[in-house]
Amino acid sequence: MNAKIIISKDKTISRIDNRLYGSFIEHLGRAVYGGIYEPGHKTADDMGFRGDVMDMVKKLNVPIVRYPGGNFVSGYNWEDGTGDKAKRPKKMELAWQSVETNEVGIDEFQEWAKRAGSEILMAVNLGTRGADEARNLVEYCNSETDTYYAEMRRKNGFDKPFGIKTWCLGNEMDGDWQICHKTPYEYGRIACETAKLMKWTDPSIELVACGSAHMFMPTFGEWERTVLRECYDHVDYISLHNYYGNPNDDTAAYLASAMDMDSFIKQVAAICDEIKAEKNSDKTVNLSFDEWNIWFHSNEQDKQIKKWQVAPPLLEDIYNLEDAVVLGNLLITLINNSDRVKIACLAQLVNVIAPIMTETSGRIWAQTIFYPFMYTSQHGRGTALEAVCECGGYTAGGKENIPYIDSAAVISEDENELAVFVVNRYLDESCSIDLSLSGYENYRPVQHIAIEGDDLKAVNTADEPNNVVPAEKSVSEGIILSPHSWNMIIFKEAQQ
Ligand code: AHR
């Protein structure tokens, strides 16, 4: 098969906000305890953070990490995770029906994030709590004043403020599973008043209002409209969350998941602009896709997990080759929508629906999805260019005209490197790519990395961590994409 990809220097989408490559650590399962934090582990540092996990996180180069939830945050008292560890309360955690020891809280996590080279996307509890506790947390984290909460931080050993710039106003408040779920109007009001107090405490912060928990929520659309009508002037972003999966084992349909993500983004952006027009506002509210990933493998096993354990092995999806291709495609969609999506968080980072897996007290390995995320995060920075694909299409899962090829292109800030990310959705056919690079005529391919293989269901495990790893392909005889593969092709200017 053949396809053409047309890229032009003058057809730009947007400068990419690096926060597009964010991730997420929730107090859920073994993300924190046994994941980023395990004092007894042989690689643990002076604060009990696992060094092997830190090394893998650094490879992913995540510029921002959402914390501490997720559903967890809607029942969380942030003060429980501060100060003397010996005095911290052990609590029933209702969202995941687990036991939270509070050994890790914002005091520790801000240090972990600093060591990982990431900012924090901090969520406040708008479930059991409200504006008062949220503004106190902003004071604790960001204030230089000699007032109660800033002094509390100093007493806990942190003279300098943590400087957390971006904050989420709660989590998935539209979902009836959420602790203290709200109607859109109830949430819009609390988000508005909380936002005001948080920004009065620190005017430099940016705020994300909760959008829908996923695109098939019955309230999707009306939720965003109502919430934005209440809080438009006080927020900077609205969130999108969505997880994808292949529960019916229909790979042809699954490979088209990115089309759903694209349509979700475009619908939310249109609603933001509708409210902007309604309000005659000069301000644009952008999008924070702060939970996205593939999540379905662990659904059945999670039903067997005993309640009220510390760090139970929840949401431990083991990802295969086709998941990696889909995940790479979702990243292509985020790049192609980078004019509106400024923040995105792969949910999550370690053990819980994660690219990085550990054994508690033991080994670590990279899941299949680790690789497309790593390469896109490393090479997908700069300016997104339109990548127009001329190719055939197919029908699957009720969708028509699914393009066999999907692509994104990014030119680095110094124009030294043009990265082209491409997915081949042909299940059984290779595809030869003709790339037209207008304005970059003297750029030549220097590297072609692919996630490919015959076995769509191949996975990596602690015993066999290298079943699915990136392949280095030849660039001397044209660009050929293997069937059902994700690819990154790097172009550099030819030396005269
Ligand atoms: O990421 C796992 C969970 O998915 C989060 O806690 C919640 O926000 C979402 O439903």
d(CA 180, CA 27): 18
Residues 217 and 231 occupy one common structural domain: yes
Give the single-character DSSP code of 135. Answer: H
Residues 354 and 461 occupy one common structural domain: no
Atom number in ligand 1 closest to CA 96: 6
Structure tokens at 252: 């042809």
Residues with CB under 6 A from ligand 1: 26, 69-71, 171-172, 213, 291, 347-348
Structure tokens at 225: 């409209």
Q: How far is the CA of 436 from the centre of ligand 1 (A)?
A: 41
Residues 151 and 257 occupy one common structural domain: yes
Residue 423's CATH number:
2.60.40.1180
Mark which of 323, 349, 381 sits at the end of a domain. Answer: 381
Mark which of 381, 398, 422 sits at the end of a domain. Answer: 381
Residues 326 and 257 occupy one common structural domain: yes
Residues 348 and 456 occupy one common structural domain: no
Q: Taking Cα atoms as reference points, which of 147, 152, 154, 167 lies closest to residue 64?
A: 167
Residue 283's CATH number:
3.20.20.80
From the candidates 38, 100, 172, 417, which is the catalytic residue?
172
Residue 411 phi/psi, 5-degree rounding, is -100, 130
Residues 149 and 136 occupy one common structural domain: yes
Report how many domains make up the chain: 2
Neighbours of 461 (CB within 10 A): 12
d(CA 38, CA 47): 9
**pLDDT per residue rounded down to tens, the chain (496 residues):** 999 999 999 999 999 999 999 999 999 999 999 999 999 999 999 999 999 999 999 999 999 999 999 999 999 999 999 999 999 999 999 999 999 999 999 999 999 999 999 999 999 999 999 999 999 999 999 999 999 999 999 999 999 999 999 999 999 999 999 999 999 999 999 999 999 999 999 999 999 999 999 999 999 999 999 999 999 999 999 999 999 999 999 999 999 999 999 999 999 999 999 999 999 999 999 999 999 999 999 999 999 999 999 999 999 999 999 999 999 999 999 999 999 999 999 999 999 999 999 999 999 999 999 999 999 999 999 999 999 999 999 999 999 999 999 999 999 999 999 999 999 999 999 999 999 999 999 999 999 999 999 999 999 999 999 999 999 999 998 999 999 999 999 999 998 6
Mark which of 381, 411, 433 sits at the end of a domain. Answer: 381
Q: What is the pLDDT of residues 237-291, one digit of tens each?
A: 999 999 999 999 999 999 999 999 999 999 999 999 999 999 999 999 999 999 9
Residues 62 and 108 occupy one common structural domain: yes
Catalytic residue check, 172 = yes
Atom number in ligand 1 closest to CA 72: 6
Q: What is the pLDDT of residues 291-347, one digit of tens each?
A: 999 999 999 999 999 999 999 999 999 999 999 999 999 999 999 999 999 999 999
d(CA 285, CA 228): 9
Residues 148 and 265 occupy one common structural domain: yes
- The domain of 459 spans 2-9+386-493
Orientation angle between helical segments 257-278 and 222-231, nearest 10 degrees: 40
Residue 323 phi/psi, 5-degree rounding, is -65, -40
Residue 109 phi/psi, 5-degree rounding, is -65, -35
Collapse the DSSP code of 403 into the 3-class scheme (helix H, G, I; strand E, B; otherwise coil) and give the result: strand
Q: How far is the CA of 71 from the centre of ligand 1 (A)?
A: 6
